[in-house]
Structure formats: structure tokens, C-alpha cells
Structure 1
Amino acid sequence: MSNTNKALILIVVVIMLAIYVVVPNSPGIPFGENPKKFVTRLGLDLVGGVQALLEADLPAGTNIDSEAMRTATTIVENRVNGLGVNEAVVQQAGDRRIVVELPGETDPEEALAVLRQTGLLEFVDFSALTDQEIQTLLNSQTKIKTDFGLSEEDASIQPTPSSTETITSSQTITNPLASLSDTIFHTIMTGADLKTAAVTTNQANQYEISFELTENGAGIFAEHTAAHIGDVLAIVLDKEIISAPGINDAIPDGRGVIQGSFDQESANALAVQLRYGSLPIPLVVVETRTVGPTLGQDSLQKSMLAGLVGFIIVVLFMIIYYRLSGLMAVLSILIYALIVFAIFRGVPVTLTLAGIAGFLLSTGSALDANILIFERIKEELRAGKNLKLSLDLAFKRARPAIIDSNIATLITCAILFWFGSTFGATIVKGFSITLAIGVGVSLFTAMVVTRTMMTLTLNNFKSTDYAKWFGI
């Protein structure tokens, strides 16, 4: 079997695989424990959503531990995934900032509120309070005081009436919240003892949160629940009560459920807070940018129109100027676009306006490689050489220039990717990724696809009117 036939088989296989990935109803890869679906990911600027810049809420000049910052980035990413936001991007920018992009997010304020919470999660004993007092605290959303982090001496100090206030047995306390807000409650354990938390439904189809504790937490929880059946164990996040479930039974195995008047949204929000509660450093939102879905859709439509117009102009130029060779180049570029789009869906790569620009620029690189080859063919034909020899010499002499230019572009892409990763410039990062993928595929289409099609065509080419067919 000749090298041309081997290359043809390779091209056909690659095209078939690319078509399988690109078709809208592709079944994906249905094998293994996690079947993979092929999707087209669109970024924030194409579908709308919110972008936020989070910064460590610490005094300027404070030395921030790099490991703590990486941990904070991971926790923020987990919180984003827990919110159910598709194609979200969470990336550390520098030594104290985190960039978060939430494409398609319809309630940015709620999402940002979950992201910036420091998240000190505590399970607090409310057994000494009456139902009315618990309800008062829940309704007021007042921050409470707990003994977590306090010494035993400080925790034992309870507030006393001030010197300007006299309370007698005949007086009625008209503001019970004042005394409750000064009470120091006992923390049974913190979120560090919580292993998992997830939203489930019971037999009555009501939402509840199932949880599992660590070995240490299970022991503490078993002892407390056994001694406080019928009492309330509050769940407190950053000293604010987010839930106050009662203890119905002892929980000896570290597995239980939190019941309440939950809908799907509130149950999911509580589960996210439980799972990803603790940030090692506090974060504050210093900048937000919201893109409406209408604006994003308009940008996508205009980008597609611009790409189509540019492609038509290029096709006309190539066919008019290079004739038969130009037609081969157009077919090669169509195959190139198919393969690149398949890679975008298969990886998948999140497409932004900058990413589309990178793809279109790489298309120019693919055409540039073909033009170098075609001009070489014309030079050899003008020198009196036959078609087969001209084709071989053209590819041989054009190859170094094509490879060198593409390597230079890939080096630039690597520098842009590093810059985008280091400083949180996701636009630059997306541009570099799509450009690098496009340049890599353009090498394959120029050196393999175009050459194979040209060889097969010229092997059956009988005319000697080179000026007519090759634009000499």
C-alpha cells in the first residue's frame, strides 16, 4: 500500500470521528462508569452571566500563604459546582485574588453571596432555649455568640445587666432579643467534622438534607443526640443561624437527615453551605461584571456572521487566484474547521469571543501554509518541471517555513496562556488555547490533507494547460 493511500485512510478515519463528535445528537462515549457527552461550551460573553473578582479581605501588605489561597480557590470552585452553574470558571489571579465566571447565572447576587462567605460552620446547642426564643433568633437574623475559639474562662462568663439597668421580679423583659444576643452558646462541633451533605427527598416527596460525619464527629454527635432527644441543635454559619432542626432520635452512626420546610432551592443552598463551608481566608467581592443573555446572543450571532462573510471572501479569492489548487485548499480548510470544532466539543473547550477570534486567526495560519505550497508549485511549473516533481519540491521546500512559523505561534500561545493563568486574564487564556489548537490542526491539514488531495488529483490530471488550471 502506497503512502498516499495510507494517508487517505487516516484522513477518512479522522473525518468520521470528527463527524461523530460534531453531530448534535451524538451519543458521546457511552462506556465506563462516567459516560462522556460531547457539548459545545459557550463562555460568559456569549450566553450572559456574571464575572466576579474576589480578593483576600486582609490588610494590604499582609503575607498570604500560597497554600491557603489555593485551598480557598478549590473551595470556591466546589461552591460554584454545588450551585449547579454550567461551564463555570474559577481561577486564581496573582497571590490574593480569584476570578469567578458564572455563564448563564440568572441570580448573580445570590451566587456571589454564597461565594464570599467565610463559612465558619458550627453545630450549636440550643437545648436551654424555649421554642419562642429560638423563633425570635431565627426571625431576627441576629448574629449569635458561641464559645468556639474561646478559652474555658472566657466561655464561662455570661453577661450581666448593666449598671444603668435595674430588673425586679415585677418587671417584664420586653426585649428578649437583647439578652439572647449576648448569650454565649456552646458549639458541639464544627464543619470540619462533616464529611458529606446532599439533597434528598423522603417518602412524602419533601426535600431534606442527608449528611455523614467523620469518625471523630460521629462520636461527638452520637453522645450529644443521645442526651438531647427533643432538643434543638442549631446549624450556624458565620454566627448566623441558617437552620434549627430538632433532635428526634439518637444518631449513633454519624448519618442523619435535616428536615424542614425546604424547597429545592433552599435545600440545595443549605447543602452547599454544609459541604463547602470553611474558607481558610476571608474573601470580599471587589468587582463584578454582568452580561445579559440578550447581549451575549447578539455577540454570538454577529461573530458567526462575521466568520461566514470572511470565509466566503477567502473561498472566492483562493479559487479565483489559485484555480484548482485553491479548490483543494478550500476543501482542506473545511476539513480543518470540522476537526477543530470536534476537538472543541470533545475536550471540551469553552468558547468566548476571544476564543472565536483565536480560531479565526488560526484559520489564516492554515491558509498561509497552503499559499506557501501553491506559490512553490507555480514557481516549479514556470521552471519547466512536471506536475509530480513540482508538487514534491513545493512541499519539501515549503515545509521548513511552515513548521518554523507555526512553532513561533505556539511559543506565543504558551506565553499568553501563562499570562492568562497567572493574572486571571481568562480572555487571553481562551484566545491562546483556541489559537494553539487551530495551529496544531493546521499543520496536519496542510502537510497531510492538502498533499494527499493534490497527489490524488494530479495523478489523474491530463491537461498541460497549467496557466488555466493553476493560475500561472
Structure 2
Amino acid sequence: MRRNLWIIFGIIIIITVLAGMVDWPTGPNLKMGKYFKEFKIHEGLDLQGGVHLVYELDTSKVEDKDKTKAAESVINVIDRRINALGVTEPVIQSAKIGGKEAVVVELPGVTDVNEAINLIGKTAQLKFLESNDQATVEADAWKESGLDGSHLRQAEVQFDQSTGEPQVSLQFDSEGTKLFSEITARNLQKPVAISLDNEIISAPTVQSAIDDGQAVISGKFTIDEAKKLSIELNAGALPVPISLVEQRTIGPTLGSESVQKSLVAGLIGIFFVALFMIIYYKVPGLLATFALIIYTWRLTPIF
């Protein structure tokens, strides 16, 4: 029995060494020869600082019974936009300000605050417009076609094969595909405008009816602009307008000293647990302790 335990212990040692050679972390300041891999724990707002934003929702055109649902929809859209930025551990929650619906957004480690604010607050209402032959003033030059962002299945960045310029390709759902086919069929040799938040960003001339449900937005975009536009479109439009009413930059509240103390306290706790396990259970306790340490070491980077 004891011999089998030592065999198991030896196998664990071998597996640990092999795993360590492939995945040994560099942080905090740990290396194993030329084999290393970054070890990073995702820190929240209290550890690394960040930005605290409060948005007020304009629900004046929403019925009282639907206001909570509108706030939930806003949270979902903001969450998708923030996830596309790669922010870890964001906090997005509903709140009340003077009886009005609001959303609180906390973004740890964000360095470009303006980019985050612009991305979160943009309504991103996508519409396809047809030329209005009956218009007498420039303001009425375009009319709505019925095709908008709600019919969008996916948007992604691609590059023009002839110019190499970045552009945003659109893929519509089944209803949108049908609408787009009808729109292009009745507007041959006419421009069809694409507007975002009531601003025309592209107005290509239709050469033929398009039945595959695909469209392209081009407009001298930079790669970053095209990427940002695709993020906004994929996340969906905000169901109601929002306005930024509070912005605060938050520094780390715990600080490196508190973090170090927490680590020391954790190590002391592990030591006494391991000591008890080994004294009480002998070799099985040693194996269990060793397995727990390996489990903790391998699991921690996930968080």
C-alpha cells in the first residue's frame, strides 16, 4: 500500500515538472530556463484603477412598464461593446438617479477613456435610405427604406481587393436579405445611402439587384475606424438615447502593500493547512497538499 502511494507521488512529481517546463509563469518574477509563459491575474477596479461612468437614459418616449426592459437592453448592448474592447472584469449595472433610469459602468485598467466613452455612448442607429424623387428641399433628399440595423446578422472588417482600403462588410438576416434585394431592384442606377445616427457615411450607386444579403460600407476608413464601426454594429443599437452625467477616474484603493500583505496571509494559511494535513494524514496528507498546490497554481491564471 505504502509502495503504491510513493509510485503515485512520483508520477505526480514527473507530470508537474513536465507541465512546468511548458507553462511555467514569468510573473511574479518566476522563470524556468528558456521555458516560460506569462502569468497574469485579472485585477478589478480596486487593484488597478480605471474609470467610473454613469449614464442617464432618456426614457421619455418609453412607457413606464417598459422602462426596466429598456435599461436591461442598454446594459446588454454596452456589455457587448465593452467585451469587444477586451476589458476584463467590467461592472455594468442599472441604477436610479432622481427617479430616472441610469446605468453605471466601471472599467478597470482602461487607458483610453475617450475611446471607451465614444464607443459606449454612440447610439449606432444604422439605416438604409432611398433617394426621394419628390423632394423639394435638400433635407428631404432621402427617405427611409425600412431596412435598418435590426436586420443585421453580422458586420466585419475586410479590405477592398483593388485599393486595399479597409471597409465594413454587412450580412443581413433572411428578412433583411429580402428587403435589400427589393431596395436594390427598384433603385437601379440610383444611389442608396447608408446612414449611422442620421449621418450619411456612404451612398453608392446600385449597379444591379443584390440577392445574397451582403453589403459593404466604404468611406476612406482607417483600420481602427472600420473596427470600431463593426463593433458598434455587431453590438446593436441602443434602444434609447443615453447621456454621460458622471465621469470619475479611480486609482487603486488597495495598493501594492495591501496586495503583498494579502499574499503573505494566504501563504501562511496554506502552510498551516498543509501542516495539519501532513501531521494528521501522513503520506496521503502530503499527496493531497501537493495536489492542492498544483491545482491552485494551474487554476489561478484563469482568474
User: How high is the TM-score relative to the length of structure 2?
Assistant: 0.68
Secondary structure at the counterpart of residue 220 of structure 2: strand
**Counterpart check, 1:108 vs 2:113:** yes
d(CA) in 1 for partners of 2:73, 2:63: 20
Alignment CA distance shift 1:100-1:63 (3 Å): same
Task: Select the residue among 268, 291, 307 that pairs with 2:227.
Answer: 268
Give the Å deviation of 1:195: 1.3
d(CA) in 1 for partners of 2:82, 2:262: 33
Higher relative strand content: 2
1:302 aligned partner:
257
| Residues 55, 246 of structure 2: 8 Å contact kept | yes
1:180 aligned partner:
138
Q: Which amino acid aligns with 1:57?
A: D
Q: Deviations over 1:185-238 (max 9, x none)?
A: 311121112111111123343211111112222222223224435543322233
Alignment CA distance shift 1:48-1:219 (3 Å): same
| Residues 127, 233 of structure 1: 8 Å contact kept | no
Query: Is the radius of gyration larger for structure 1 or structure 2?
Result: 1
Q: Deviations over 1:137-156 (max 9, x none)?
A: xxxxxxxxxxxxxxxxxxx8
Secondary structure at the counterpart of residue 91 of structure 1: strand
Aligned residues: 273
| Residues 226, 249 of structure 1: 8 Å contact kept | no
d(CA) in 1 for partners of 2:248, 2:40: 26
| Residues 202, 217 of structure 2: 8 Å contact kept | no
| Residues 81, 88 of structure 1: 8 Å contact kept | no
Give the Å deviation of 1:327: 9.9
TM-align CA RMSD: 4.5
Q: Which amino acid aligns with 2:300?
A: F
Identity of aligned residues (%): 27
Secondary structure at the counterpart of residue 170 of structure 2: strand
| Residues 118, 238 of structure 1: 8 Å contact kept | yes
Task: Select the residue among 170, 188, 196 that pairs with 2:154.
Answer: 196
| Residues 122, 191 of structure 1: 8 Å contact kept | yes
Alignment CA distance shift 1:210-1:309 (3 Å): same
Secondary structure at the counterpart of residue 24 of structure 1: coil
Q: Which amino acid aligns with 2:204?
A: G
**Counterpart check, 1:44 vs 2:45:** yes
Give the Å deviation of 1:239: 2.2
1:252 aligned partner:
211
Task: Select the residue among 68, 73, 94 that pairs with 1:71.
Answer: 73
Task: Select the residue among 267, 275, 279 that pairs with 2:238.
Answer: 279
Give the Å deviation of 1:79: 1.6
Alignment CA distance shift 1:205-1:39 (3 Å): farther
1:86 aligned partner:
87
d(CA) in 2 for partners of 1:109, 1:342: 36
Alignment CA distance shift 1:304-1:253 (3 Å): same
Alignment CA distance shift 1:270-1:61 (3 Å): closer
d(CA) in 1 for partners of 2:186, 2:63: 48
d(CA) in 1 for partners of 2:158, 2:207: 19
d(CA) in 2 for partners of 1:299, 1:231: 61
d(CA) in 2 for partners of 1:213, 1:326: 61
Unaligned runs of 5+ in 1: 26-36, 129-155, 160-178, 349-472
Alignment CA distance shift 1:221-1:231 (3 Å): same
Alignment CA distance shift 1:185-1:61 (3 Å): closer
Give the Å deviation of 1:65: 4.5
1:207 aligned partner:
166
| Residues 43, 89 of structure 2: 8 Å contact kept | no
Alignment CA distance shift 1:308-1:328 (3 Å): farther
Unaligned runs of 5+ in 2: 27-37, 281-285
Task: Select the residue among 187, 197, 201 that pairs with 1:228.
Answer: 187
d(CA) in 2 for partners of 1:234, 1:106: 35
d(CA) in 2 for partners of 1:267, 1:310: 48
d(CA) in 1 for partners of 2:183, 2:169: 18
2:59 aligned partner:
58
More off after superposition, 96-105 vs 267-276: 96-105
Alignment CA distance shift 1:120-1:202 (3 Å): closer
Secondary structure at the counterpart of residue 42 of structure 1: coil
Secondary structure at the counterpart of residue 116 of structure 2: helix
Higher relative helix content: 1
Secondary structure at the counterpart of residue 226 of structure 2: helix
Q: Which amino acid aligns with 2:257?
A: K
Task: Select the residue among 115, 120, 123 that pairs with 1:118.
Answer: 123
| Residues 91, 99 of structure 1: 8 Å contact kept | yes
2:31 aligned partner:
none
